[in-house]
């Protein structure tokens, strides 16, 4: 490991699952949009189904089979793919458009707002997420997260864990990879491993509830520089 | 004019001259770096000379003669072009590198920090500047400016007043041009006119001292939706 805490200048954050609870948020939004239209579903199952389409959609871009397309548009395609499976057929364009923006209206885990405020006194902070800029700006506003810049997929024109996404973020801040640390939920091994392979520092945050109560690992399967329980624990371990 | 105040969602800011005082800041930094090495210059003349190289450097990119290159790198080339004119020949690489980052260490005009805080309660805020992301993030940190995203040249891969820069900013926030307003110093007619031609709202801010005490126009030569004296006056006029 070439990472040294003394050189650390910037923290990069994965967002879905690491900073915000996408599962209960999407379920809540789906219920709010579809229940008034007479649908009764297990809304968490609906959220999981939507999210399950995520990686295949990313892979179309990462493989080069499809030109870069921002996540809002991919979310909409993913949504249209799952609707028939739930027997949802007669929803207006306005409702679909609003439902698709469920991903802009997610709540942070309880430690996130205060944890980022604390980390931000010592380091540059940026999301390095597959989310598009408007989505991340909306999540930041909603949860009072102060970032120095919004980096990630839309800046890089590709999706994590492709190396270009991490490197575009380091370059945007004029920093070497070793001056940056990627922070991800502990179960996001692929994201952490890709960042580590490029020379970024890595930190995991236990997010055991991302996929349902206590179902996700709290300790990563890939080596990391810091394994933390929360952003406050991360701040403690960084001496921040 | 298609601009309607009711639809307005985002304010885009020019930065050099509009939010920050580049001239006295660059002069101060040049003196701090070069006076200890025995140079005695008119530091404001030095700042003006450096800035005079700006538009020709932009034009190399805008014309397509040179691939997109971020402003930090162009600033360095501009600096190397003017050094011989001032008889500066024996400065180390470390000093030049630090001096080049003078543009990261500029101070906001007195109304900027509080004015943006006030406007930010009502609108999304983003710099749409020719400055690169790291430069703008540093200026925001230094002056406590809270932006929702850093947009502009590095996102667009081109320089203002090329249309692509404004349109990339509106697209990044998923907004129509008419939902966005470009805010520039009153003397920056070309920036304001380009934004207006694309359907963005426009606001000028009087910055009479940008090029020296009371030498710049306070009222733009091109039609704008709002002509303001300061960001607080702009907030008043937007009902914010």
Q: Do A10 and A36 fall within a single domain?
A: no
Residue B2's pLDDT is 57
* B1 pLDDT more than 70: no
Query: Which helix or strand (DSSP H or E) is residue B129 part of?
Result: strand B124-129
Q: How far apart are CA A205 and CA A186, in angstroms?
A: 5
Q: How far off is chain A from B193, nearest CA to CA, in Å?
A: 26
Residue A34's pLDDT is 98
Ramachandran quadrant class, A222 (left: phi over 0; alpha: psi -120 to 50; beta: rest): beta
Under 8 Å CB-to-CB from B3, ≥6 apart: which residues? B178, B181, B199, B200, B201, B202, B225
Q: How far off is chain B from A224, nearest CA to CA, in Å?
A: 27
Where a domain ends, among B48, B71, B104? B104
Q: Do B96 and B116 fall within a single domain?
A: no
- CA-nearest of A123, A94, A99 to A41 is A99
Chain A contact for B148, CB < 8 A?
A: yes
Q: How far apart are CA B130 and CA B132, in angstroms?
A: 7
Q: Do A179 and A226 fall within a single domain?
A: yes
Residue A127's pLDDT is 98
CATH code (residue B38)? 1.10.150.240
Note the helical H segments in A65-211. 71-82, 93-100, 112-120, 133-143, 153-156, 163-172, 189-197
Within 10 angstroms of residue B40's Cβ, the number of other Cβ atoms is: 8
Q: Do A97 and A126 fall within a single domain?
A: no
Model confidence band, residue A148 (pLDDT cutoffs 50, 70, 90): very high
Residue A219's pLDDT is 87
- Within 8 A of B136 by CB-CB distance, chain A residues are 149
Residue A217's pLDDT is 86
The shortest CB-CB distance from B133 to any of A136, A146, A172 is to A172
At A204, is the secondary structure helix, strand, or coil? strand
Identify the closest residue of chain B to A127 by CA–CA distance.
B149
User: What does pLDDT average to over chain A?
Assistant: 96
The shortest CB-CB distance from B173 to any of A137, A140, A148 is to A137
Q: Do B113 and B206 fall within a single domain?
A: yes
- Residue B180's domain comprises 5-21+107-237
Q: What is the ipTM of this complex?
A: 0.94
Distances (CA, A) of B57 to A201, B45, B101: 36, 19, 17
- Within 8 A of A149 by CB-CB distance, chain B residues are 133, 136-137, 149-150
A18 neighbors A160 (Cβ within 8 angstroms): no
At A17, is the secondary structure helix, strand, or coil? coil
Between the two ends of chain A, the Cα-to-Cα distance in Å is 21
pTM as predicted: 0.96
């Amino acid at each position: 490991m070439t990472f040294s805490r003394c050189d650390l200048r910037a923290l990069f954050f994965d967002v879905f699952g690491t900073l915000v609870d996408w599962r209960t948020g999407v379920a809540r939004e789906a219920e709010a949009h579809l229940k008034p239209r007479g649908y009764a579903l297990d809304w968490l199952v609906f959220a999981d189904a939507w999210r399950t389409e995520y990686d295949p959609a990313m892979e179309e871009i990462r493989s080069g089979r499809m030109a870069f397309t921002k996540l809002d548009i991919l979310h909409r395609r993913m949504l249209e793919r799952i609707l028939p499976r739930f027997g949802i057929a007669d929803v207006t364009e306005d409702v679909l458009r609003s439902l698709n923006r469920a991903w802009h209206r997610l709540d942070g885990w309880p430690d996130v707002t205060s944890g980022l405020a604390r980390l931000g006194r010592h380091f540059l902070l940026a999301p390095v997420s597959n989310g598009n800029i408007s989505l991340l700006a909306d999540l930041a506003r909603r949860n009072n997260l102060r970032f120095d810049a919004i980096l990630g997929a839309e800046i890089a024109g590709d999706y994590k864990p492709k190396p270009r996404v991490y490197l575009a973020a380091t370059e945007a801040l004029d920093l070497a990879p070793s001056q940056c640390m990627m922070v991800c939920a502990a179960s996001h091994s692929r994201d952490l491993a890709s960042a580590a392979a490029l020379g970024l520092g890595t930190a995991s945050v236990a997010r055991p509830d991302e996929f349902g109560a206590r179902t996700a690992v709290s300790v990563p399967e890939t080596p990391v520089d810091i394994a933390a329980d929360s952003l406050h624990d991360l701040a403690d371990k960084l001496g921040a």
